[in-house]
Amino acid sequence: MRLVWVLSLTAMDPRQQYLSDFGEILLFMIAGVLFVVVALLTSRLIRPDRPNAEKLATYESGEEPISVAWTQFNIRFYIIALIFLLFEVEIIFLFPWSTIFANQELIEQTNGAWGWFAFVEMVIFILVLALGLAYAWVNGHLDWIKPEPKPTEYKSPVPREVYNQLNERYRK
């Protein structure tokens, strides 16, 4: 009954038509969520569940794992990855601009003003990107700091001179 009322709004005044459009969007969102939930539940119910040691092993591109996967990475990996993603997402905006920039109809309708407007707009956009890159560079987010290895100090019961004599004997 409620669905019929929402669908009957299409023949009414524009304000009610506006509400009906949102009703359609709501129906599509509910249908999308329902589809995902039903698909996940169905796949969980019909899949085989036979774990063994081979299936439970960590998969690393076909290679046998050497150690545990829970190791610490330098935070620089994540910072550089985030900067990369930031610039990649912003570069995606260049593609729609490039298709509209040389639109002959818009250039003719505006007596060439469209081309200059689009060009200046993109120059500003690229300058903002360059400013962000300069900020990351100046603050050292792009520098890769290599740790200096420090030998561990070990108190050996063998005197240091004995090690030096051994090293000299085998160096020759």
CB count, 10 Å around CB of 114? 19
Helix (H) or strand (E) holding 87: helix 75-92
| d(C-alpha 13, C-alpha 125), whole Å | 42
Give pLDDT tens digits along the chain (172 positions). Answer: 554 444 554 555 666 666 677 888 899 999 999 999 999 999 999 988 888 887 777 776 777 777 776 777 777 788 888 888 888 888 888 877 777 777 788 888 888 788 788 888 888 988 988 898 899 888 877 777 766 667 777 788 888 888 888 888 888 6
Task: Please state at what angle helix 75-92 crosses helix 94-101, rounded to 10 degrees.
Answer: 20
